[in-house]
């Protein structure tokens, strides 16, 4: 089973809050993990790409991968109204297609 589970939300936070977005998965062979941001009727925009377990930080975004728990997270610090979008997690085995979560809809309220 290669399901990727993601809470669809919607998630609503005040501006400046820390946002935590999460995905779980069942396939222990997944090694590559991505977070995408998708605005309505637009293509997924790559935010973060990580390999195996660990943390990766890029500006206000931090991606965490815990392979032992089959759990990945994306943290957004100092959230802004422009962060309002749907956030998709995606993951893959080496050399294979990406499997996406359903996406979490985020609204940051000014």
Partner 1 sequence: EPEVTQTPSHQVTQMGQEVILRCVPISNHLYFYWYRQILGQKVEFLVSFYNNEISEKSEIFDDQFSVERPDGSNFTLKIRSTKLEDSAMYFCASQQEMNTEAFFGQGTRLTVV
Q: Which is nearer to partner 1, 79 or 90 (CB)?
A: 90
Which letter does DSSP use for residue 67 in this model? T
Write the Ramachandran bin of 68: left for phi over 0, alpha for psi from -120 to 50, otherwise beta. Answer: alpha
Q: Which is nearer to partner 1, 27 or 31 (CB)?
A: 31
Coil vs helix vs strand at 83 = helix
Separation of alpha carbons 86 and 27, rounded Å:
24
For the bound state, the minimum distance from the C-beta of residue 78 to partner 1, rounded and expressed in Å, comes to 24
Which run of H or E residues covers position 11? Answer: strand 11-14
Coil vs helix vs strand at 105 = strand
For the bound state, the minimum distance from the C-beta of residue 101 to partner 1, rounded and expressed in Å, comes to 7
Q: Which residues are near partner 1 by CB under 8 A?
A: 31-32, 34, 36, 41-46, 49, 51, 88, 90, 92, 94-103
Q: Which is nearer to partner 1, 29 or 109 (CB)?
A: 29
For the bound state, the minimum distance from the C-beta of residue 94 to partner 1, rounded and expressed in Å, comes to 6
For the bound state, the minimum distance from the C-beta of residue 21 to partner 1, rounded and expressed in Å, comes to 16
């Amino acid at each position: 089973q290669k399901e990727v589970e993601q809470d669809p939300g919607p998630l609503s936070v005040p501006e400046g809050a820390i946002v935590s977005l999460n995905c779980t998965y069942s396939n222990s062979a997944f090694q590559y993990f991505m977070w995408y941001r998708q605005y309505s009727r637009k293509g997924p925009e790559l935010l973060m790409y990580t390999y195996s377990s660990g943390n990766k930080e890029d500006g206000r975004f931090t991606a965490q991968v815990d392979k032992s728990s089959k759990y990945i997270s994306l943290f957004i610090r100092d959230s802004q109204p422009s962060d309002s979008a749907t956030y998709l997690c995606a993951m893959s085995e080496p050399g294979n297609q990406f499997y996406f979560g359903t996406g979490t809809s985020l609204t940051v309220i000014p």
